[in-house]
Amino acid sequence: MSKLKKTSILLFVLLVISCGKKPIVQELRTNNDDLWWQDSVLSADISISDTSAIYRVSLRIRHTTNYPYSNLYLFRDVLSETQTEYQDTIEITLNNPEGAWLGKGVGALKTINLPYHKNGVKFPRPGDYRFRFYHGMRDEPLRGIKDLALIISSEKNNY
């Protein structure tokens, strides 16, 4: 494993640990050689027992400044044991109209954090759910996306 890759993983782990409450689910999808194939899915499973809880779901994308576009289309699904609960396509803007990257970072590596839904997610019934993310760009493979992380934490609803 290269020194840069070890350092990146260590920084990611330290960042997640230092951000307060421990997440219920934390999945990382690293793309070898910064190449993301469309069938390479970031997938995370969660078992829900408390349907009154609000779940904070966020996606962290790390990309290089060699990424060839100003945006990224992602397909996202939430599957239950019996059906697709939610499915859509989102467009993520990675740089502004002047060409400056919106993500934070030093040098050629930028990180952008996105909430899944700004008000959090509530599940309609107890059971097992799967979150899936994959790119919706035309390039195959897509170059310049280093990794994606999915983080899910819960907070008790005080109603």
User: Which residues contact residue 158 at a Cβ distance below 8 angstroms, ignoring those fewer than 6 apart?
Assistant: none
CB atoms within 10 A of CB 29: 18
The residue among 116 and 112 whose pLDDT is bigger is 112
pTM of the model: 0.77
Q: Are 152 and 56 in contact (CB under 8 A)?
A: yes
CATH code of domain 23-155:
2.60.120
pLDDT beyond 60 at 124 = yes
DSSP code of residue 50: -
**Percent of the chain at pLDDT exceeding 70:** 84
DSSP H or E run through 17 = helix 3-17
Please work out, in degrees rounded to the nearest 5, the angle formed at the alpha carbon of residue 132 by the alpha carbons of 135 and 74.
25
pLDDT in tens, 42-88: 899 989 998 899 999 899 999 999 999 999 999 999 999 999 988 99
